[in-house]
Structure 1
């Protein structure tokens, strides 16, 4: 794929892995647009990211929001060379406590939102573009996370789209791949309702179970996404790359 200036749309790009990817691609000369669902995180991203990064507030559960977001990207960039479908939620809820609203919210963002974001962005994607989905090891057998059944279902459905979309879009040389992060040290830990001390203890305990002995950094996932978006991955499609420090290798 050869274009004068590459351009990327990153959903869920105002914090964590999405923001790290936005910063990396911007450093590498991309025009970048990011979306965030919340007003606070969106405002912070507007203040802290380079001023030429397009920051949009958009709820991927809403078809109107998605259509409006795509139009704003079209007006600014005209076309896209990379789509990183990263927006998602993970709510730890035991099976017996899952209600219909939780199910609808999680699948609305992680599955419905992902699908219709790709559909909406398709007219903007140049031939030879790259689509990358964030999945997560909790949705990739044999991994599992207690209390994560709804998130696993939603992200598993997202993962199941990858090979089908890769085949469907191959005629345009649009490559479709996924990245599955393991335990990554991002702001999501602050959303679990634990104190800083409890969260740190939880992260240390988790790190002790990982062969490489630590949690990953968002920048390490960003590097994988950047590779999948690059010409270096021009012959790679329909794949899911697990970036998890060796989690799950030990018997």
Structure 2
């Protein structure tokens, strides 16, 4: 039996990028994992990569009916769970002068409302001493151009980690946040940037980072798993996985 051989886990936004890397780490360690996403095509690819240790569920975290369906399926597939990773999110650029109400509402519906109700609907399935990890972003603590709405949403998620920690402590459940900086997760491909703009963005972020590089999805996954399973005397914190960008 592997390191996570007795663990049942749910990862929202687990069909690609950082969430998929985390799922791969846990499945290799013997965990049974449910991953969610909105794209059936990405879920099919993820399910193939993860093998029999995983179940892929199409669910939009902005939809309460989808989250209720997810909770029923998790109960059926896993029973109780030892870890919940609230990782689903979107990261469109939101310049002050051009961001529309539609973009604002969609971002908050997924990143903020989705995080809150994911925890609400799945918390009843968490076992005693389980861990919840919410994915935030370094954008919630430093001013970054064209990210005001995204950053505000991630700051709200950071605040939730503290409040949920207090509410769930009577059950022995720990709630922490993980704050990725520049991670090579493929996220630039979703931001509708030109190739030139994407290259410039990557070069600027690399130059400003104390470690002078992007992090890997595997580095994110190891840190997230640590918070969920090993940091047993830690709750309410935000762990920066950012090459020192917010610390140095």
Whole-Å separation in 1 of the counterparts to 2:116 and 2:246 = 29
Paired residues of 1:17 and 1:219 also in contact (CA < 8 A): yes
Q: Deviations over 1:37-76 (max 9, x none)?
A: 1222122212322133110111111111111111111100
Name 1:188's counterpart in structure 2: 187
Within-5 A mapping of 1:91-240: 91-140=92-141, 143-196=142-195, 198-230=197-229, 232-240=230-238
* Alignment check: 8 A CA contact 2:179 2:240 kept: yes
Cα deviation for residue 6 of structure 1 reads 0.7
Give TM-score scaled by structure 1 length: 0.93
Q: Give, in angstroms, the shift of residue 144 of structure 1.
A: 1.7
Structure 1 unaligned regions, length at least 5: none
Q: Is the 8 A contact 1:190 1:196 kept in 2?
A: no
Aligned length in residues: 245
Which position in structure 2 is the counterpart of 1:48?
Answer: 49
Are 2:244 and 1:243 equivalent residues in the alignment?
no
Equivalent residue for 1:66?
67
Q: CA deviation at 1:200?
A: 3.6
Q: How far 1:139 moved relative to its partner?
A: 0.9
CA change 1:177–1:248 in 2 (3 A) is closer
In the alignment, the residues of structure 1 paired with residue 196 and residue 208 of structure 2 have an alpha-carbon distance, to the nearest angstrom, of 19
Cα distance in 1 for residues equivalent to 2:95 and 2:200: 22
Write the distance in 2 (CA, Å) between the matches of 1:41 and 1:102.
23
| Residue segments in structure 2 that go unaligned for 5+ positions in a row | none
